[in-house]
Amino acid sequence: MNRKKTVVALVLAALVAAANAIAFSNKAIPDFEKESGIAANGPAWIRINQLGYTPTGIKVAVWGSKSKGKLKRFQLVDATTNKVVFKGKAGEAFGAYGPFEESFRLNFTEFTKPGRYYLQAGEAKSPEFLIDADVYKGTADFALRYMRQQRSGFNPYLKDSCHTHDGYTMYGPMPDSTIIDVSGGWHDASDYLQYATTSANATYHLLAAYRDFPGVFTDKHQANGLEGTNGVADVLDEAKWGLDWLLKMHPREDWLFNQLADDRDHQGMRLPTNDPVDYGMGKGGPRPVYFASGEPQGLGKYQNRATGVASIAGKFTSAFGLAAQVYSGQEKELASLFSTKALSAYKLGLAKPGVAQTAPNRAPYFYEEDNWVDDMQLGAAALYQLTGKQEFFKQAYNYGLQEKVTPWMGADTARHYQWYPFHNFGHFELAKKSDDKTKEELVGFYKEGIERVYAKAKKNAFYRGVPFIWCSNNLTTSFAIQSFLYRQLSGDQTYAELEQANFDWLFGVNPWGTSMVYGLPAHGDTPTDPHSAFTRLNKYPIDGGLVDGPVYGSIFNNLQHLKLYSEDAYAEFQSKLAVYHDDFGDYSTNEPTMDGTASLIYLLASKEYSSQEGRPVKK
């Protein structure tokens, strides 16, 4: 056969193969327009959890369309064979939401066979995803990468040290500008401020993850964060990094510090190991460390509205109290130290009830925390677990009665970090050690908060009831955790789909169809251009970092000094309701946060642990 005939034969063979493929495809997947029962055509998308779904778990995707057409049916297709393996009814039409004119929830929970699949409804086809028992495996460990990268003092990612001269005191009983050692801890976000309130909360989440989900975490890093093993789970190493800094911030029985550095930090992008900012003691010199005085603070034009110390003292107490329990069977001297610190911090909270907000300087922005009884409840609950003393149980219970529901739940808006932490671990920790009647009451508080959010969530296809304020992803993570804790305590599955919907939102079941966690999953649509010096200056990945998340369009449109640097890849999914940009310039939606990531680590660990034969949290 000559060359020309060979080419003709190859072309004919290709055409036959293509025809067979089309015939096979049409046989496996019939007329989708007819099969799906779409009354009107228009651009449509199917949003899925990019991590995937577990065989026995709840499996829901969301179909959204730019037209008002109705959807009757959808199909699940094996991505390997292209054969339809499941057909489902679309169910209730939820109507318009955000950029969509119509939306439906596609529930395929009853399908349990592991494999790789995609969903199709009409012309809309989802990305491929896995159904597998191990879809969450290793995700919590992955998010720990961001925590290590946020370390101050010695930074294992950069293999260099930073902010080693911290700090000089302000507002304390000692002379101002007294030099003390408060180096270490974590940077709060993409700036290099350090707050005890977020650090203590993050430390608690890491300790709780280690306690509640044994076996989830590995040991691949040393205590300093460098690669290697030390016989300690990496999550406990990370928690210990936070604890060591908290010890420095509470160096004496009557000394408690709340904040390191201030908004003078905001002087452009630079790596933490090359930070030339001058806080009055020379470029790169010591930074101010703010004493928790219980009174308004602010060294520049602006001040906070602090009224007491209890909000921060309670957080110190809970972190130290849980640490004392965790280390009691490993290092008794260390456990004793943490126990002593927990008691002294709690004493300071009792002496000065009220909130210790973070301190602004040049700008009027700060963490406007307005609640504190939740912090004291969790602290008292930790002390009760630690000591068994009934007085702590009674105090924790009484604090719990003063704030049954975290106030943002059910609200449409809130000021920045106004109600923090975003869920209260205190009800859970106290309920575990309560009589049946008290436990039922505490569980009821969780249920009331969930119901407030559900009242809004059940009206849209995404089951979205969390307000689009700054750090909305942090609230979403916390709400999913509270729903999980409620389910563990009560055994009630009523809100299981709502719980899963909030988790799914973080990994792609949202109007933009993107994961909100850098690099997770590895081959998904995840943030690539976050508001971070690591990525902007050196293209260093910030693996595992949870970004702030979408904000109301009204918030975004009133932000100052915000500039988008690239064409908006999600332009067709922005709306008056909410916007999200994967753009370095959008500091409101695409900046990762340390405390949000720490909360996510607890949530991811709970998902991995529970997927292993559906086990309950360890008591």
Q: Residue 457 and residue 35: Cα distance in Å, rounded?
A: 29
Per-residue model confidence (pLDDT) at position 18: 38
Instruction: Report the CATH number that the domain containing residue 434 is assigned in CATH.
Output: 1.50.10.10
Instruction: Looking at the structure, tell me whether residues 270 and 399 fall in a common domain.
Output: yes
| Contacts with 494 (C-beta within 8 Å, 6 or more apart), sequence order | none
Instruction: Looking at the structure, tell me whether residues 221 and 264 fall in a common domain.
Output: yes
Instruction: Looking at the structure, tell me whether residues 496 and 355 fall in a common domain.
Output: yes
Instruction: Looking at the structure, tell me whether residues 159 and 78 fall in a common domain.
Output: no
Torsion angle, CA of 179/185/189/192, rounded to 10 degrees?
Answer: 30
Instruction: Looking at the structure, tell me whether residues 335 and 389 fall in a common domain.
Output: yes
Instruction: Looking at the structure, tell me whether residues 107 and 176 fall in a common domain.
Output: no
Task: Render pLDDT for 233-263 as a digit per residue (tens, 0 to 9).
Answer: 999 999 999 999 999 999 999 999 999 999 9
Tokens 């792609």 identify what position? 508
Residue 79 lies in a domain: yes
Residue 540 lies in a domain: no
Residue 52 lies in a domain: yes
Domain membership of residue 217 as a residue range = 139-526+589-612
Instruction: Looking at the structure, tell me whether residues 350 and 424 fall in a common domain.
Output: yes
Residue 25 lies in a domain: no
Residue 434 lies in a domain: yes
Per-residue model confidence (pLDDT) at position 599: 98
Global pTM?
0.93
Instruction: Looking at the structure, tell me whether residues 106 and 148 fall in a common domain.
Output: no
Tally of domains within the chain: 2
Residue 522 lies in a domain: yes
Instruction: Looking at the structure, tell me whether residues 339 and 298 fall in a common domain.
Output: yes
Per-residue model confidence (pLDDT) at position 41: 62
Which one of 85, 115, 131 terminates a domain?
131
Instruction: Looking at the structure, tell me whether residues 72 and 145 fall in a common domain.
Output: no
Which one of 131, 156, 177 terminates a domain?
131
Residue 569 lies in a domain: no
Closest by CA position to 588, among listed 471, 476, 475: 471
Per-residue model confidence (pLDDT) at position 69: 87
Residue 549 lies in a domain: no
Instruction: Report the CATH number that the domain containing residue 116 is assigned in CATH.
Output: 2.60.40.10
Which one of 131, 148, 179 terminates a domain?
131
Instruction: Looking at the structure, tell me whether residues 348 and 478 fall in a common domain.
Output: yes
Instruction: Looking at the structure, tell me whether residues 124 and 167 fall in a common domain.
Output: no
Question: Could you say which residues of the chain have pLDDT below 70?
Answer: 1-41, 613-619
Q: Helix or strand or coil: residue 11?
A: helix
Q: Which long-range contacts does 110-116 make (Cβ < 8 Å, 24+ apart)?
A: 110/86, 111/59, 111/76, 111/85, 111/86, 112/55, 112/56, 113/55, 113/85, 114/55, 115/78, 115/79, 115/80, 116/78, 116/79, 116/80
